[in-house]
Each structure stands twice: as structure tokens, then as C-alpha cells.
Amino acid sequence: MSTTIRKSKAPPDTYPWPLILHVRPALDLTEEQFFALCQLNRDLRIERTAEGDWSVMTPVAGSSGRGEARIIMRLGIWAERDGTGQVFSSSTGFRLPNGAVRSPDASWVWNSRLAPLSAGDWQRFLPLCPDFVLELRSPSDRLEVLQAKMVEYVANGARLGWLLDPEARQVYVYRPEASVDRLDQPERLAGDPVLPGFVLDLREIW
């Protein structure tokens, strides 16, 4: 298989990302084929919706990349101390129960849910939804698209979700069977009870 997606030379922020490609029924890849496609296009982040559409995103701007790195670093330090789960970066693909393949900007999964995975599972998209997911909005991201993804995460098993919008300095908090909380200009976020003791200092992100 040698499919490669070519990018335009135009600046990424001139487009309303993500780029959605409707491929069914003309093209219906198996999980192995879709995984191979993603490996051939490592400079892109390609997700697949539950309906089979491809969602193509370019590398993020410097501000967003710096924010993601700080979040993963803080989350990783907490996770090492807590010891009950593992942190994953935005390069990790998760195959959700509804069939979608998603790559949140940062995520965390309980060890008890990772333990049953086989060696083969670890070589492909992980077959589960993270317990905690975080999305950091970049300048080219459409807010409504990220909000829909957060709803999908919770519907597929996430226990806590944070959507951070640095431009508006707002945070949307998602939990199962609860309304979405919007926080305006918060300085800190606490992850209790899903992430006991974890506090994210948003002044590092804004």
C-alpha cells in the first residue's frame, strides 16, 4: 500500500482545519490499512470518525506545541507520583468503542485497563477510550469540532475531559451524565476525583 496525502504549500492557518475526507463507499480501509496510511503520513495527524470519514490535521503552531508539551510534562510528573495510570501524547491513536480513531492532545489511562492489552495491541491504535482526555485549541481549530470530539470521548467512556481555548482563556469541562461546565479565565484546574491531586496551572498555558 503506497497511498500518500499531499499537502498544499499554503499556510495551514488559512484553512478551516481539520480537513474532512469522505471516503466511503469508494474506499473502506481495514484497521491495518488505515494504520499503515497513518504511518506513511507521519507529518500529519489523521483521525477516523465513527462513520469512516478521515479527519486530517497539520502540525500545530509553536504556541500550541509549547502548550501541549507543558501539559504533558505536568501530567507526566503527577502520573509518576500517583502510579495508577499512564500518560499518552498527541501522537497516540485510540480506537474508540464506536469505531472512531482519535488522538487527543493529552490523555491518561488507568493501569488496570491497560494490563489486559496484548503485545499486538500495543503495536496498533490502542483499543479503548482514555479515562482522561485533553484538547488544546490551536488558532486554526474550529471550536465546534473540538466540542463534538469531547462529547464523543465521554460517550465512549472518558471519565473527565478538558477543552482548553487559550485565545478566549476559557475551559470546557466534560463529565459523564453531567452538563458541560464553562470556566472563564481560570488560573488552575483540579482533576479530582479522576486525577486525584493533579492541578494544572493554566497561567503556563495562557
d(CA 94, CA 102): 5
Mean pLDDT of 38-61: 85
* Burial environment of residue 150 by CB neighbours within 10 A (0 to 12, 13 to 18, 19 or more): buried
Per-residue confidence at 15, pLDDT binned at 50, 70, 90? low
Looking at the predicted structure, is the pLDDT value of residue 6 above 50? Answer: no
Closest by CA to 132, choosing from 82, 75, 170, 83, is: 75
- Mean pLDDT, rounded, of the chain: 90
Q: What is the pLDDT of residues 140-172, one digit of tens each?
A: 889 999 999 999 999 999 999 999 999 999 999
Percent over 90 (pLDDT), the chain:
70
Backbone angles phi, psi at 37, to 5 degrees: -60, -45
